[in-house]
Amino acid sequence: MPALEVPRLAEELKAEAQQAFSAAHLPYAQLKVAYTPRRLVLLVSKLAPEQADQIKEIKGPPAAVAFDQHGKPTQTGIAFAQSHGFAGEDLEKREVGNKVYAYARQTVPGRPTVEILPVILPTLVEGLHPTKRMRWDASALTFIRPIRWLVCLYEKTVIPVSLGSLVASCTTRGHRFIAQQKISLKSAADYEAALNEALVIVDPEKREKAVIDGLKEAAEKLGGDYLLDDELLLRIVNGAEHPTAVLGSIPAEFLDLPIEVLHATLREEGKFVPLRIPGKTCSHFVGFRDGLPDDKGIVRSGFERVVRARLRDSRFFFDKDRQRPLSERVRELRDVIYDVRLGSMWEKVERVRALAGEMVVRSGKGVTAEVDRAAFLCKADLVTEMVKAFPKLQGVIGEIYARLDGEPDAVFAAIREHHLPAFANDELPDSDGGVVIGLADKLDTVVSALLVGEEPSGSRDPYGIKRQANGLVRIAIERQVDVDFTALLDDLQETYAMIEKRVGWTAVKDFLIDRTGQLLKQRYAIPLDVIACVSATGMGNFYRVLLRAQALIDWKTNGAFQALVAASTRVRNITESTAEEGFDPALFQEEAERVLWREYLKAEGQFTLLAKGGNYKGGVEHFVPLTGPINRYFDDVLVMTQEGKLRRNRLGFLSALAGLFLRVGDFSALVVDNT
């Protein structure tokens, strides 16, 4: 079975079994699963020999109706009993409260476990969810790989579970190569020991320990450590029934290859673990044999042959790549189609350069010349042999080659970093160049895909648009990029003029804004009402959206702010349907109008100053004093006066006031406790 899938199937088996035994009223002391590449094992200890007796009962009509004067069941009583699967004899009287009812009651004796198991066990296997199902014979049985035998024992008794054309027995097999004999199990309790003797380690934790111990021993002998990641470990642990470490060495002729290349070559397909020896490059590795120690050295020779062959491939790629500097490869991007509707990779690079240049100016991050150089080179590694062979090394190879070509630090760092984040919780670019080009690249990918009509959904997003958009928003927020992306898109429509568009720019902006809303909720724990509040207005500057949201979270629980919310809602409600803009303070008549106006000017000035630096929390503080004046305004001023000129003027002023609050959000959307 596939190494990465077996653990999940085992977990499913466990969950299914727990449920099945519970539903069948079969208690046990412990239930666990074990597995190897060719076995899935369910081990249950102290499984009850039979089901507990089950009481079945149901309440019936009043006793007076169900029983006659002799205490025998009447027709009514019997009919009731039978309609629920009981018999007349099962009826009894029972007092409930101060009435007497008929109850039908049956004791269903528990069946022996050995009778139940053949019924429930096949459903466990059928209830598993392998990623793929295959057929292999005439039976209707499907699974992830062909099932070749079944073993089932309850203590010493064979349970003849049947699945497809197989019937379970007490015969299992030992390790395929080092202990081939068939094993006849005497009892279930013997299982693990019998298999250990046959050189099969069924417990994955024990296999993992054997692997780690093997790695430690090999690494310590050479004074270094080993480079292991979760996936490589899983592939090794679940690739053998008896993993045994074999140390191998790499010939000196390959050791000048970049270390990332050495590592990638070794780890591919989960075969070898690189060893790191301080002061030396990656000169040794550890492979794992499914069997006993490699006394004859034949397996070591074999492993080393494979490693040499692969390194020769990598050497071939590297040498071919290094025949020309990275910069000379850029023009080859003209022949690489990015997307039929969007042109070549070269054209994408041109767009990214334009976007990145704008991003430098607007964000104040990065040096124009360096960013432009890095943007020019950032996709060149796609046409290298090394990246074609190891696609995961995209970016890493670009960085290495640019460095070898003598490009400045800022340039080669950005080439690698602009791909980040590669997955949901990956790191973000650190350098300014990486940030700016990362943003430009992702923005172009998302915008251009949406414009030509791609519609990413939960189940289908072949261009990774959602992931790219998430990365974009994350970088903007967490690297504090003070740029309004919707405004940026408005200014850059020229760049996309040549593309045949299926949707409009509004849809593109809405998509980005929607992504921001999703991230605020999922990643930055912003409550829904705060999201609704900030969404009412300018969401294009993602960084500032978060600052506004955080300020609101801080203020939400404050009593004085809550009073402001109520007051501002009055302002919002009355101006909602108005289109009045502009006002003339000279037309104010009431004292309340002038007071509010003066407070408005103060608040607006202070808020603007603080908001400029991103201090929305401090800015909102200056809104609070407006509460009183607003309420007084509504007490004293008739906004909807008959006099047209006055009315329009008042609405105009209130609109400006509403607009001030909107620079943070629509407070009426906030859920506050108004006591």
Partner 1 sequence: MNFEDIILHLHDFWRSRDCLILHPYDVEKGAGTFNPATFFGALGPRPWKVGYVEPSRRPTDGRYGENPIRFRLHHQYQVILKPVPDDIQDIYLTSLEEIGLRLADHDVKFAEDDWESPTLAAWGVGWQVWLDEMEITQFTYFQQMGGIDLDPVSVELTYGLERIALILQGKESAFELAWNDEISYGTLWWEKERQFSIYNFEAASVERVQEMFRLCAQESRANLEAGLFFPAYDYTLRCSHLFNVLDARGAISVTERERFIARIRELARECANEYMALGESRV
Residues that bind partner 1 (CB under 8 A): 1-3, 37, 132, 134-138, 144-146, 148, 176-178, 239-240, 246, 269, 271-272, 287, 289-291, 294, 296, 298-299, 301-303, 305-306, 308-309, 312-313, 316, 335-340, 344
Greatest CA separation found in the chain?
108
User: Minimum Å distance from CB 294 to partner 1?
Assistant: 8
Nearest to 145 by CA among 133, 128, 158: 133
Residue number, 105 or 176, with CB nearest to partner 1 = 176
Residue number, 268 or 590, with CB nearest to partner 1 = 268
User: Minimum Å distance from CB 336 to partner 1?
Assistant: 5
Residue number, 303 or 561, with CB nearest to partner 1 = 303
Residue number, 3 or 58, with CB nearest to partner 1 = 3
Residue 305, phi then psi, degrees to nearest 5: -65, -45
User: Minimum Å distance from CB 427 to partner 1?
Assistant: 27
Q: What residues pair up with 276 in beta bridges, in sequence order?
A: 225
Residue number, 242 or 572, with CB nearest to partner 1 = 242
Would you say the C-alpha torsion 315, 319, 322, 328 has a positive or negative sign?
negative
Q: Are 289 and 175 spatial neighbours (Cβ–Cβ below 8 Å)? A: no
User: Minimum Å distance from CB 291 to partner 1?
Assistant: 6
Q: Are 256 and 268 spatial neighbours (Cβ–Cβ below 8 Å)? A: no
Residue number, 451 or 473, with CB nearest to partner 1 = 451
User: Minimum Å distance from CB 351 to partner 1?
Assistant: 17
Q: Is 582 exposed, middle or buried (0-12, 13-18, 19+ CB in 10 A)?
A: exposed
Instruction: Report the C-alpha gap between 145 and 143 in whole angstroms.
Output: 5
User: Minimum Å distance from CB 289 to partner 1?
Assistant: 4
Instruction: Report the C-alpha gap between 258 and 74 in whole angstroms.
Output: 92
Residue number, 94 or 315, with CB nearest to partner 1 = 315
Distance from chain centroid for Cα 160: 43
Residue with tokens 């085992």: 10
User: Minimum Å distance from CB 405 to partner 1?
Assistant: 22
User: Minimum Å distance from CB 177 to partner 1?
Assistant: 6
Residue number, 150 or 670, with CB nearest to partner 1 = 150
User: Minimum Å distance from CB 2 to partner 1?
Assistant: 4
Distance from chain centroid for Cα 453: 25
Instruction: Report the C-alpha gap between 595 and 598 in whole angstroms.
Output: 5
Q: Estimate the crossing angle of helix 345-363 against helix 432-451, to 10 degrees.
A: 120
User: Minimum Å distance from CB 210 to partner 1?
Assistant: 15
Residue number, 276 or 315, with CB nearest to partner 1 = 315
Residue number, 30 or 323, with CB nearest to partner 1 = 323
CA angle in degrees (0–180, nearest 5) for 271-276-281: 105
Instruction: Report the C-alpha gap between 124 and 159 in whole angstroms.
Output: 15
Helix, strand or coil, per DSSP, at residue 26: coil
Q: Are 486 and 540 spatial neighbours (Cβ–Cβ below 8 Å)? A: yes
Q: Are 244 and 17 spatial neighbours (Cβ–Cβ below 8 Å)? A: no
The torsion angle over the Cα atoms of residues 359, 364, 367 and 368, rounded to 10 degrees, is 40
